[in-house]
Structure formats: structure tokens, C-alpha cells
């Protein structure tokens, strides 16, 4: 196989994930550049007559899926899903993830948790031994955002995590606002020695809505590198 660039690798992983989709399935659609390849490929199948019902994890994905006329639902109307396909910012050997680089991790986690299976699609650059090189996104309430940020710093330090915790901003300088109307802080810890402990500690902070650590949710990772596909975990 010819060497793949990262975007070709993402598309290859998305194409492999498409093989898991069967007629009649209720699907969760992830967010991000890798998930967008999956939506493209799924859209082509829907145009050929594939019958699926999908719940998007962001307004961006909803808009993209709409352009293909992919039948869409909500987690309220379709609260139980068969399969979610989504990207990730990092994954480790235990299939723990960091997600939320695109700000969608709250809906992504809710949709993944409502699914029988979550399968992650990535390029090889996302594989790590220890999570944390990618800044951990933490969605927080707008009210008292600075107080919450300081509590996050203290709670993280007690879990062995230190580093900048910064409010995410848009290019014009204002705070980034999620689809849910919240802010995000990005925590540059470098390494997260105990993701389970950090997860619990963060969720105990009243202003924290949801963080981007996905633990025990991904059943498999389809990882495409310059030489082809590697599967971690169980695809079915």
C-alpha cells in the first residue's frame, strides 16, 4: 500500500468503520475531521438506499449530515443507539480517550453512553502510552467560570496533574461557547498519571459540566497509519 498522509489515514479508518453499519441501525455520529469523513461516506451509502437513523453529536455534524439527507433524530426521540462512530484526540492502550478538541465532548459522551458500542476512528498520531499530551478539554458553566478554573487546578494537583488551565477563546478573543452554551477550559497537564482519579475529582466540582476523558466507553479503535489499519479492542 502507498504511504498515506494523515487525512487519507482518517478516511481509511472511516471506511473501515462503515463496514460495521447494517441496515436499520441507530447510529451516533461523532464530531471532528475524522468523523466528518465517516459522515461523507455514510451519506453516499444513504443516497444508494441504506436505511439508518442517526443522532449527531454537534450542530456541525448535524449540518453536514443534513446536506446528505441522512435521516436524523435526537437523543430524546431515540434514546438507545446501536453504534457510535467518533474520532478522538488521544487514545491509550486501555482504550481510554481524550476528546473535545472540537468542543463537542459533552454530547459525544452522552451519545456514546447511550450506544451499545462506541468505535473510535483515528490516524496513528493519536496513539499514546499515557494520556495528557493533548490538553484536556473541560466544559464548565459560564457562571463563576474563574472560580471553577481555580478549583480545577487544585483538584488536578491532588491527582498529580499540573499545568496551564486556560479558558478556550475564539480567534477574535472572546470565550469559546459550546453548542450547549457553556465555556471550555483546556488543561495542559502533559501527562495524566491516573485518569480515573482525575475524572472523579473533576466531576465533584460543581461548575464542571463534563470533561473530555472517556473511560470504559470505547469498545475498539480503528487506527490508520502510513502502512494501513490496526484494530485495538473488539470490533463486534
Ligand X SMILES: O=C[C@H](O)[C@H](O)[C@H](O)COP(=O)(O)O
Could you list the active site residues?
108
Identify which of residues 49 and 181 has a Cβ nearer to ligand X in the complex: 181
Residue 178 among known ligand-binding residues: no
Do residues 28 and 112 lie in contact, with contact meaning Cβ atoms separated by under 8 Å? yes
**Residue 171, by phi and psi: left (phi above 0), alpha (psi -120 to 50) or beta?**
alpha
What CA–CA distances, in Å, run from 198 to 110, 136, 154?
19, 11, 11
Do residues 30 and 84 lie in contact, with contact meaning Cβ atoms separated by under 8 Å? yes
Residue 87 among known ligand-binding residues: yes
Total site size for ligand X, rule CB under 6 A: 18
Identify which of residues 30 and 135 has a Cβ nearer to ligand X in the complex: 30
Does residue 103 belong to the site contacting ligand X (CB under 6 A)? yes
Does residue 100 belong to the site contacting ligand X (CB under 6 A)? yes
Do residues 232 and 220 lie in contact, with contact meaning Cβ atoms separated by under 8 Å? yes
Do residues 81 and 103 lie in contact, with contact meaning Cβ atoms separated by under 8 Å? no
Does residue 101 belong to the site contacting ligand X (CB under 6 A)? yes
SS3 2: coil
| Residue 124, C-alpha cell as written in the block | 496513528
Q: Which of 105, 109, 117, 211 binds ligand X (CB under 6 A)?
A: 105
CB of 121 to ligand X, least distance (A): 8
Q: Which of 90, 92, 108, 210 binds ligand X (CB under 6 A)?
A: 108
Does residue 33 belong to the site contacting ligand X (CB under 6 A)? yes
Query: Closest Cα partner for 195 from 146, 130, 134?
Result: 130
Q: Which of 54, 88, 221, 224 binds ligand X (CB under 6 A)?
A: 88
CB of 23 to ligand X, least distance (A): 26
Does residue 89 belong to the site contacting ligand X (CB under 6 A)? yes
Q: Which residue has the cell 453516499?
A: 44
Residue 101 among known ligand-binding residues: yes
CA distance 187 to 62: 28
In the annotated binding site for substrate, the residues are 31-34, 86-89, 99-102, 126
Q: Which residues of this chain interact with ligand X, rule CB under 6 A?
A: 30-35, 86-89, 99-105, 108
Amino acid at each position: 500500500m502507498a504511504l498515506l498522509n494523515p487525512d487519507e489515514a482518517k478516511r481509511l479508518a472511516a471506511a473501515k468503520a462503515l463496514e460495521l453499519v447494517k441496515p436499520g441501525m441507530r447510529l451516533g455520529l461523532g464530531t471532528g475531521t475524522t468523523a466528518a469523513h465517516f459522515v461523507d461516506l455514510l451519506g453516499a451509502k444513504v443516497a444508494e438506499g441504506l436505511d439508518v437513523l442517526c443522532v449527531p453529536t454537534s450542530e456541525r455534524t448535524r449540518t453536514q449530515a443534513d446536506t446528505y439527507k441522512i435521516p436524523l433524530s435526537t437523543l430524546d426521540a431515540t434514546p438507545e443507539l446501536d453504534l457510535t462512530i467518533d474520532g478522538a484526540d488521544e487514545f491509550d492502550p486501555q482504550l481510554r480517550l481524550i476528546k473535545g478538541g472540537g468542543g463537542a465532548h459533552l454530547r459525544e459522551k452522552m451519545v456514546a453512553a447511550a450506544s451499545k458500542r462506541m468505535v473510535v476512528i483515528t490516524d496513528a498520531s493519536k496513539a499514546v502510552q499515557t494520556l495528557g499530551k493533548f490538553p484536556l478539554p473541560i466544559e464548565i458553566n459560564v457562571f463563576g467560570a474563574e472560580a471553577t478554573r481555580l478549583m480545577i487546578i487544585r483538584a488536578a494537583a491532588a491527582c498529580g496533574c499540573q499545568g496551564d488551565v486556560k479558558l478556550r477563546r475564539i480567534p477574535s478573543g472572546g470565550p469559546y461557547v459550546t453548542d450547549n452554551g457553556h465555556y471550555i477550559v483546556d488543561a495542559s497537564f502533559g501527562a495524566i498519571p491516573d485518569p480515573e482519579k482525575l475524572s472523579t475529582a473533576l466531576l465533584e466540582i460543581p461548575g464542571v459540566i463534563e470533561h473530555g476523558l472517556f473511560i470504559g466507553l470505547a469498545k475498539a479503535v480503528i487506527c490508520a497509519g502510513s502502512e494501513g489499519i490496526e484494530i485495538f479492542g473488539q470490533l463486534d
